[in-house]
Amino acid sequence: MIGPSGAVRVMVATKPVDFRKGAEGLATLVREAMAAIHSAALSMSFAPSGPIA
């Protein structure tokens, strides 16, 4: 397992995310969230709100 360096902040989306948006749609959500956060070392994580089929 490769771990991040100590300078990386990880943010987890706490609201449901529509995974049908695809990679570009999720990237847009990240860009919008990062507009207020000025950090070069930032990682975003998404998880489905319901069961995975």
Q: Could you state, in order of their start, the residue ranges of all structural domains in the chain?
A: 9-45
pLDDT value for 51: 72
Going by pLDDT thresholds of 50, 70 and 90, the confidence category of residue 19 is: confident
Report which of residues 12 and 42 the model is more confident about.
Answer: 12
Token pair, residue 26, equals 């999720």
Q: What is the pLDDT of residues 29-52, one digit of tens each?
A: 878 777 766 655 556 666 666 676
Read off the pTM. 0.46
Q: Which residues contact 13 (CB under 8 A, 6 or more apart)?
A: 29, 44, 45, 46, 47
Q: Side chain identity at 19, as an amino acid letter?
A: F
- ∠ CA 22-10-46 to the nearest 5 degrees? 25
Pairwise CA distance, residues 41 & 38, whole Å? 9
